[in-house]
Amino acid sequence: MSRFKFIVFAFVWALMMVSSTFAADEKSEQAAVVKSFKQFAADLMVRFKDEKHEIVRSLPEIRCMSSKEEIFRFMERELSRSKADPNYREVPVFRKELYEPDTEYSIDVRKTESLISPYVGFIEFKWHEHDGDCAQTKEEAEAKPFHATGVYQTYRYTYAFQDGTWVPEGRQIHHEDPSELEDCKDSNERDFGCHVSDKPQADEKKK
């Protein structure tokens, strides 16, 4: 083998070794990141499950009605009251709500082109809602027992991997069509999963 061919062969061999080492390192890094996110997601879901997510809301009385007849009678009564008194305003009622995360969830991790956040992780799961009966006062509502409503909303939480930790990047709501996602920035207060904090409740109370 001539000196030139030997140099070319050595160069190609060294290049292959570097590429192989880089690929092995990248694969090892990706496995570590996936493992990290699996643990992060598991810890977050356990904390969501352990914490108590109760809210007492004031809301229009019509929101407490389920039958068409009941709603119709209510609207007739309110119309009559407003005609009798132009300054009449409906008095809101109160309802206690409990939110619990589903025990099942799915995750995914993807590589990005960003040097700051080289990976993003996704958690998709449901928040289930349980309601108490409506009451005229907040205190009465707090004493009411919860009922299973069968109501739930599916969310997708996004986290960016920065400096070895997972930081909140955004949240979205799944609609009936799985391909449709609404940014939580456009949500209302009823979308509990958009507003619950990623931080432990004990940390939130210290603020």
How far is it, in rounded angstroms, from Cα 129 to Cα 149? Answer: 7
Per-residue pLDDT at 4: 54
Considering the domain boundaries, does residue 161 fall inside one?
Answer: yes
For position 68, what pLDDT does the model report?
78
Residue 84, in any domain of the structure: no
Domain membership flag for residue 152: yes
The burial class, CB within 10 Å (0-12 / 13-18 / 19+), for 9 is exposed
Count of structural domains within the chain: 1
The pLDDT tens digits of the residues spanning 70-104 come to 777 878 777 787 777 777 677 789 999 999 999 99
The low-confidence residues of the chain, meaning pLDDT below 70, are: 1-25, 88, 176-178, 201-207
Task: Check if the beta carbon of residue 182 is closer than 8 Å to that of residue 171.
Answer: no
Question: Which pLDDT does position 22 carry in this prediction?
Answer: 45
Q: What's the pLDDT at 151?
A: 86
- Chain segment 36-47, per-residue pLDDT in tens: 999 999 999 999
- Asked whether residue 73 is assigned to any structural domain, the reply reads no
Beta-carbon contacts of 144 under 8 Å, excluding residues fewer than 6 positions away, are 95, 96, 132, 133, 135
CA 113 to chain centre: 25
Please name the residues in contact with 157: beta carbons below 8 A apart, sequence gap of 6 or more: 122, 123, 124, 168, 170, 171
Residue 17 confidence (pLDDT): 47
Domain range for residue 180? 33-57+97-205
Residue 82 is assigned to a structural domain of this protein:
no
Q: How far apart are the first and last CA of the chain?
A: 74
pTM of the model: 0.76
Tell me if 177 is assigned to some domain: yes
